[in-house]
């Protein structure tokens, strides 16, 4: 039985005061507690957010990290620094990092290994562009991203990874993949993990991401292989986010 996981990706939104207000609002709504809840906040909010979620079941996540522990890497944040702040999850390879900041599959692979070796659970994002889907090569693309991401990763640690299937054309656009299409790709991802890593495929959690809203979460979560959602826009509204958690 895989525990569902709903993770909010706040992206570059919320100052400390705004973020703390949002956390208080989230805490103010009743949650049914079935899904694991994660908020991936900007680096500047990690420390205060950790204090604000103390004594709740909300987990803290970051949105990126570097793979080295320390050194001359100006502007980067290391897994050691995240661990010190109580970070349990870290998004790795989000399409916005791939698209705007030159994140490569090789970098993603190094970051996954670094996160796992510091007991931070990576939320690894994969997904195709609209052009790739229209050319019917979306599975090829996602398979390649996965195989490169998982290259050399310790098989015993694979179950600590969460994968987020996020078709790029669905992120922040209001267009959602149909629940059947999302499930079809997520089943394919599970099979690909099975071919590479064996039975852990049945334990690893795979989320869908891309314009998830209270109106479509139930149908997505009703599908056999979808274990949760990575949520951008709707995670910035407390009531919507809690509706997603309580799907
Ligand atoms: C995301 O940022 O990972 C995402 C899925 O965004 P949105 O929910 O806004 O499409």
DSSP string, 84-104: HTT--EEEES-HHHHHHH---
Question: Tell me, what's the pLDDT at 136?
Answer: 96
Average pLDDT over residues 118-129: 98
For residue 234, report the distance from its CA to the centre of ligand 1, in Å: 8
Residue 20 CB contacts under 8 Å (≥ 6 apart), including other chains = 45, 48, 49, 52
pLDDT for res 49: 98
Residue pLDDT, tens place only, 60-110: 999 999 999 999 999 999 999 999 999 999 999 999 999 999 999 999 999
Residue with tokens 């805490």: 27
Q: Does ligand 1 come within 6 angstroms of the Cβ of 220? A: no
CB 7 within 8 A of CB 27: no
Q: Tell me the average pLDDT across 201-211.
A: 97
> Confidence class of residue 48 from pLDDT cuts 50, 70 and 90?
very high
Tokens standing for 143?
């398979």
- Say if residue 172's pLDDT is above 90: no
> Do 77 and 45 contact (CB within 8 A), yes or no?
no
pLDDT at 142 over 90: yes
Taking the CA of residue 171 as reference, the ligand 1 atom at the shortest distance is 10
Secondary structure letter of residue 33 according to DSSP = S
| CA separation for the pair 167, 216 (Å, rounded) | 16
> Rounded to the nearest 5 degrees, what angle is found at the Cα of 22, between the Cα atoms of 9 and 80?
50
Which pLDDT score, from 0 to 100, does residue 1 have?
A: 85
Q: Which residue is associated with the tokens 């656009």?
A: 173
Determine whether the shortest distance from the Cβ of 232 to ligand 1 is under 6 A: yes
Cα–Cα distance measured from residue 139 to residue 143, given in angstroms and rounded to the nearest whole number = 6
- Residue 168 Cβ inside 6 Å of ligand 1? The answer reads no
171 lines ligand 1 (CB under 6 A): yes
Residue whose CA is closest, atom 1 of ligand 1? 232
CB-ligand 1 contact for 19 (6 Å cutoff): no
Three-point CA angle 93, 97, 98, nearest 5°: 75
In this predicted structure, what is the pLDDT of residue 58?
97
Question: How much is the average pLDDT of 29-54?
Answer: 96
Ligand 1 center–CA 28 separation, angstroms? 24
Fold of 5-245: TIM Barrel (3.20.20)
- The pLDDT assigned to 111 comes to 98
Let me know: does 163 contact 5? Beta carbons within 8 Å.
no
**pTM to 2 decimals?**
0.97
Whether residue 126 has pLDDT greater than 90: yes
Burial of residue 91 (CB within 10 Å: 0-12, 13-18, 19+) is: buried
- DSSP states along 117-157: HTT-EEEEEE---HHHHHTT-HHHHHHHHHHHHTTT--GGG
Q: Does any ligand 1 atom lie closer than 6 A to the CB of residue 61? A: no
- 126 Cα: distance to centroid of ligand 1 (angstroms): 13
Give the pLDDT score at 175. 84
Q: What is the mean pLDDT of the chain?
A: 97
Pocket test for ligand 1, best of 220, 230, 241, 244 (most atoms within 8 A of CB): 230
Spatial separation of the C-alpha atoms in residues 78 and 171, rounded to whole Å: 27
- Cβ–ligand 1 distance for 93 under 6 Å, the answer no
| Region 171-175 average pLDDT | 87
Question: Which of 5, 130, 210 to mutate for ligand 1's pocket (most ligand atoms within 8 Å of CB)?
Answer: 210
What tokens were used for 181? 């299409």
Has residue 166 got a pLDDT over 90? yes
Atom number in ligand 1 closest to CA 96: 2
- The predicted-structure confidence for 208-234, as pLDDT tens digits, reads as follows 999 999 999 999 999 999 999 999 999
């Amino acid at each position: 039985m895989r525990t569902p996981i709903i993770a909010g990706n706040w992206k570059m939104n919320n100052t400390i005061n705004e973020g703390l207000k949002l956390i208080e609002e989230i805490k103010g709504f009743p949650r049914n507690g079935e899904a694991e809840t994660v908020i991936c906040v900007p680096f500047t909010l990690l420390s205060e957010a950790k204090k604000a979620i103390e004594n709740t079941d909300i987990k803290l996540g970051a949105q990126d990290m570097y793979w080295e522990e320390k050194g001359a890497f100006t502007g980067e944040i290391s897994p050691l620094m995240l661990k010190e702040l109580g970070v349990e999850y870290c998004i790795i390879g989000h399409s916005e990092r791939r698209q705007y900041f030159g994140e490569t599959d090789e970098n993603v692979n190094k970051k996954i290994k670094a996160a796992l070796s510091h007991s931070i659970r990576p939320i690894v994002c994969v997904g195709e562009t609209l052009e790739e889907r229209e050319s019917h090569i979306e599975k090829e693309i996602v398979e390649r991203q996965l195989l490169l991401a998982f290259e050399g990763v310790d098989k015993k640690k694979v179950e600590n990874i969460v994968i987020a299937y996020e078709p790029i054309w669905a992120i922040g656009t209001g267009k959602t993949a149909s629940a059947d299409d999302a499930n079809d790709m997520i089943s394919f991802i599970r099979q690909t993990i099975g071919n590479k890593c064996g039975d852990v495929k049945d334990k690893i959690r795979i989320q869908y991401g891309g314009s998830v809203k209270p109106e479509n979460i139930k149908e997505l979560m009703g599908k056999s292989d979808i274990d949760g959602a990575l949520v951008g826009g709707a995670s910035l509204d407390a009531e919507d986010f809690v509706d997603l958690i309580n799907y």
